[in-house]
Amino acid sequence: MSSDIAVRRTVAEVLDHVWENRSTIQSRDAYAMMLLALGRENPNLACVSADMNFEDHFALELPRQHVDLGIAEQNMIGVAAGMTVSARPVFANGMSPFAIARAYEQIKIDVAGADLPVKIVGTHAGLASGHYGPTHHSLEDIGVIRMLPNMTVVVPADAWQAAQATVAIAEDPGPVYLRLGRQATTALYEERTEFVLGRASVLREGGRVLFIATGPHPNLVAAQAARELAGRGVSAGHLNMHTVKPLDSEAVLHASANAEVVVTIEDHRALGGLGGAVCEVVAEAGGPPVRRIGVPDVHYDLVGGEEYLLHHAGINVDNAVAQALDVLA
């Protein structure tokens, strides 16, 4: 828990602060700073949590807007849905592997089915807590949540986008899943950029290869792979698909119109997540072949650091380049 979160800042000041420190701030801390700023401005905003100490500053400063429900994610989602009678929006915070998988029925019925403004924020997503083993891997969350009606799924690429996304989902009238990691990651952007829900961010214009990535590490892999291909004389585009649902189909079809291969990269199973969503769009349009890079369809029971597990799963630059060149060959 960073004491920096407690500094009294407006929404605009939080954005400035996160931008200036974007490579050293954890995305969950950027989110917590912004949530506190939004809570100060909107007394109807509420926050519920499942024993998540990174948001303790919110509880200390705005106790009437916060409820800690302990390690009881199913109950947390039901309470969050009920609180929308008098509070809007309601942010429900937990570790992704438990806030989603353990509480899926409650999300399906109480939140998505009722189309309520509950913003589920899952930290430690993907392989971010790989050192705890498979109980703490969150590799199915994008897939299962994007299947539910009314749900928006947002996966920021860095702390800067996490802060922007928090503002955007607070203003959105429907239910949202915001997927965050654990540790700080290298900033993806060199210039301040606009964040719009449902609109992909173009980091590199399309070429013979199109990389589409979501989340911090996959986007860094895509950016480096595109540079390496360019060094070999192969043009490659790069889309940061920070909103997996609704997917920006227009951006996918436009960027892939002249591509010979699309490569999707995600810190998630290769089944059902971003890769599946992109395949649906490209296949229906009769587009180029799609190669999906993600965790394979096995019980991924390894224990280790996040970057080690990502590399072991093939979520790395060498594999991204190889997948693209294999199709081009």
Measured N-to-C along each axis, helices 317-328 and 216-231 cross at an angle, to the nearest 10 degrees, of 50
Residue 155: φ, ψ to 5°: -130, 90
Q: Which among 29, 36, 88, 25 is positioned nearest to 54, based on CA atoms? A: 29
The answer to whether the beta carbons of residues 66 and 47 sit under 8 Å apart is yes
Q: Which two tokens stand for residue 35?
A: 């949530």
If you search the block for the tokens 């290298």, which residue do you land on?
Answer: 186
pLDDT at site 146: 97
Residue 75: φ, ψ to 5°: -65, -40
Q: Which two tokens stand for residue 212?
A: 């589409």
Q: How many CA atoms lie within 13 A of 322 on its CB side?
A: 7
Q: Which among 135, 81, 142 is positioned nearest to 107, based on CA atoms? A: 81
Q: pLDDT per position in the chain (329 positions), as tens?
A: 567 887 888 999 999 999 999 999 999 999 999 999 999 999 999 999 998 876 678 999 999 999 999 999 999 999 999 999 998 999 999 999 999 999 999 999 999 999 999 999 999 999 999 999 999 999 999 999 999 999 999 999 999 999 999 999 999 999 999 999 999 999 999 999 999 999 999 999 989 999 999 999 999 999 999 999 999 999 999 999 999 999 999 999 999 999 999 999 999 999 999 999 999 999 999 999 999 999 999 998 899 999 999 999 999 999 999 999 999 98
Q: Which two tokens stand for residue 87?
A: 């509070």
Residue 152: left if φ>0, alpha if ψ -120 to 50, beta else—which one? beta
pLDDT at site 7: 81
- CATH 3.40.50.970 applies to domain 3-179: yes
* Residue type for position 241: M
**Is this prediction's pTM over 0.85?**
yes
The DSSP annotation for 229-294 comes to: HHHTT--EEEEE--EEES--HHHHHHHHTT-SEEEEEEEEETTTSHHHHHHHHHHHTT---EEEEE
Give domain limits for the chain.
3-179, 201-328
C-alpha span between 161 and 34 (Å, rounded): 11
Q: Which among 169, 83, 162 is positioned nearest to 119, based on CA atoms? A: 169
The answer to whether the beta carbons of residues 212 and 278 sit under 8 Å apart is yes
pLDDT at site 1: 53
pLDDT at site 133: 92
Q: Cβ of 328: how many Cβ atoms within 10 Å?
A: 12
Q: Would you identify the CATH topology of the domain 201-328?
A: Rossmann fold (3.40.50)
pLDDT at site 206: 83
pLDDT at site 235: 97
pLDDT at site 53: 73
The answer to whether the beta carbons of residues 28 and 181 sit under 8 Å apart is yes
Q: Are 3-179 and 201-328 the same fold in CATH?
A: yes
Q: Which two tokens stand for residue 303?
A: 């224990």
Contacts of residue 161, Cβ cutoff 8 Å, sequence gap at least 6: 188, 189, 195, 242
